[in-house]
């Protein structure tokens, strides 16, 4: 059975001993391990069932540590770090030679982030090192945004979970790659909007990963509930009468025979509640789940990206 704690000394000792710790961050809970301990890093891949071809994000206490991990930090990276760290932004930079290629999935780039969650920050300061921390879920299942979901994912293990309440952001970080000789590229949408990053850089971000680095968080099927899930713009009216059909609304809930949750029409609130809603609906043993698509504007880009990976379009 997983064990919950709020004791930072215990959590720190655990990490120093090469063990794994589920760690709250402002995005989602991470499965943390000492980034400099190759055996601990290998345990993360093994416990998640994550293919070794998926690189891990290195979490730091402060931006100054990035110089240990990156071979070089250009002016764009400096500005993004100064403005958005600590926070839900991951930067992919050229990796220093010594960085274990098990972390980078064999690539010469490394992903770095300084998380903003107060407990994560205090733990990282106390640990005085760096932590890899992919989302604390089994490969291809829904990221956890509270400790109970972590415990559910790893129910038959004795994983230590640092209790940190509900994650404020609720979706994984925005990932931007800044590699020498390449235009800045958005590798993953997050609640830190691409437009804010572009405004600071003074240029548009390239999109997608073609020809550049691999970003396996972009696998088409990812973040998916077990219940077959569809998303719609045009309401499939007849399904409202089906008690085995669950609903996830985006502010325009209609009476339905099956269970329904409405995450509302505010993108930040919706993002914060999305994964918990999917956990809840998934636990009901429904035949299908119908998800109302959010508006197509940029404020919803990260939510729409995750819904596109979690469901099949009906229209
Ligand atoms: P997770 O920690 O589960 O949110 O996933 C981390 C994600 O960060 C990966 O799935 C990749 O998309 C991305 N990532 C990590 N390291 C790199 C890297 N060196 N190059 C490109 N993308 C990376
Ligand atoms: Mg993940």
Ligand 1: which of 66, 212, 216 to mutate, judged by most atoms within 8 Å of the beta carbon?
Answer: 216
Ligand 1: which of 52, 55, 70 to mutate, judged by most atoms within 8 Å of the beta carbon?
Answer: 55
pLDDT the model gives residue 225 = 82
Ligand 2 centre distance from Cα of residue 31 (Å) = 10
Which of 39, 31, 53 is CA-nearest to residue 153? Answer: 31
| 117-149 pLDDT, tens digit each | 999 999 999 999 999 999 999 999 999 999 999
- pLDDT at residue 87 above 70? yes
**Ligand 1 lined by 187 (C-beta under 6 Å):** yes
pLDDT the model gives residue 156 = 95
**Cβ proximity of 63 and 114 under 8 Å:** yes
pLDDT the model gives residue 211 = 47
pLDDT the model gives residue 134 = 98
Dihedrals φ, ψ of 267, to 5°?
A: -60, -40
Q: What mean pLDDT value characterizes the chain? A: 95
pLDDT the model gives residue 218 = 53
Mean pLDDT of 41-52: 97
Which of 213, 201, 202, 210 is CA-nearest to residue 177? Answer: 213
Domains within the chain, CATH numbers bracketed: 3-207 (3.90.870.10), 229-313 (no CATH)
Dihedrals φ, ψ of 251, to 5°?
A: 95, -5
Per-residue three-class SS string for the chain: CCEEECCHHHHHHHHHCCCCEEECCCCCCEEEEECCCHHHHHHHHHHHCCCCCCCCEEECCCHHHHHHHECCCCHHHHHHHHHHCCCCEEEEEEECCCCCCCCCCCCCEEEEECCCCHHHHHHHHHHCCCEECCECCCCCCCCCCCHHHHHHHCCCCCCEEECCCCCCCCCCCEEEECCCCCCCEEEECCCCCHHHHHHHHCCCCEECCCCCCCCHHHCCCCCCCCCCEEEECCCCHHHHHCCCEEEEECCCCCCCCCCEEECCCCHHHHHHHHHHHHHHHHCCCCCEEEEECCCCCHHHHHHHHHHHHHCEECC
pLDDT the model gives residue 208 = 73
pLDDT the model gives residue 48 = 97
Ligand 1 centre distance from Cα of residue 267 (Å) = 24
**Ligand 1 lined by 152 (C-beta under 6 Å):** no
- pLDDT at residue 52 above 50? yes
| 173-186 pLDDT, tens digit each | 999 999 999 999 99
Ligand 2 centre distance from Cα of residue 218 (Å) = 10
- Min mean pLDDT across 34-38, 70-74, 224-228 is at 224-228
Q: Which ligand is nearest to the CA of 35?
A: 1
Which ligand 1 atom is the nearest neighbour of the CA of 90?
8
pLDDT the model gives residue 239 = 98
Which of 173, 190, 192 is CA-nearest to residue 120? Answer: 173
Strands 174-177 and 109-113: unpaired
pLDDT the model gives residue 223 = 66
At 212, is the pLDDT very low, low, confident or very high (cuts 50, 70, 90)? very low
| 277-306 pLDDT, tens digit each | 999 999 999 999 999 999 999 999 999 999
Q: Which ligand is nearest to the CA of 275?
A: 2
- pLDDT at residue 62 above 90? yes
| 223-280 pLDDT, tens digit each | 678 899 999 999 999 999 999 999 999 999 999 999 999 999 999 999 999 999 999 9
| 157-204 pLDDT, tens digit each | 999 999 999 999 999 999 999 999 999 999 999 999 999 999 999 999
Mean pLDDT of 74-83: 98
Cα angle: 87, vertex 152, 50; to 5 degrees: 65
pTM value is 0.95
**Ligand 1 lined by 111 (C-beta under 6 Å):** yes
């Amino acid at each position: 059975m997983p064990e919950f704690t709020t004791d930072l000394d215990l959590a720190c000792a655990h990490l120093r001993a090469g063990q794994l710790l589920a760690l709250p961050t402002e995005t989602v809970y991470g499965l943390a391990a000492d980034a400099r301990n190759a055996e601990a890093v290998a345990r993360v891949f093994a416990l998640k069932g994550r293919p070794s071809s998926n690189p891990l994000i290195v979490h730091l206490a402060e931006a100054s540590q990035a110089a240990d991990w990156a071979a070089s930090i250009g002016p764009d990276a400096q500005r993004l770090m100064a403005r958005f760290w600590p926070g839900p932004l991951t930067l992919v930079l050229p990796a220093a030679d010594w960085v274990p290629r098990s972390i980078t999935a064999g690539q010469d780039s490394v992903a770095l982030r300084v998380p903003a969650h107060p407990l994560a920050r205090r733990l990282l300061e106390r640990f005085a090192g760096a932590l890899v921390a992919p989302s604390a879920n089994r490969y291809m299942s829904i990221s956890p945004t509270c400790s109970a979901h972590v415990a559910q994912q790893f129910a038959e293990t004795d994983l230590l979970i640092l209790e940190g309440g509900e994650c404020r952001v609720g979706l994984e970080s925005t990932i931007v790659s800044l590699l020498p000789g390449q235009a800045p590229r958005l590798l993953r949408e997050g609640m830190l909007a691409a437009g804010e990053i572009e405004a600071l850089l003074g240029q548009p971000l390239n999109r997608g990963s073609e020809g550049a680095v691999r970003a396996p968080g972009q696998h088409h099927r990812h973040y998916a509930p077990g219940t077959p899930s569809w998303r719609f713009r045009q309401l499939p009216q007849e399904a409202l009468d089906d008690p085995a059909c669950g609903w996830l609304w985006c502010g325009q809930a209609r009476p339905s025979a099956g269970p329904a949750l409405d995450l509302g029409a505010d993108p930040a609130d919706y993002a914060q509640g999305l994964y918990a809603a999917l956990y809840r609906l998934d636990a009901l043993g429904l035949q299908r789940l119908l998800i109302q698509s959010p508006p197509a504007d940029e404020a919803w880009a990260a939510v729409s990206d995750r819904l596109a990976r979690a469901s099949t379009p009906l229209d």
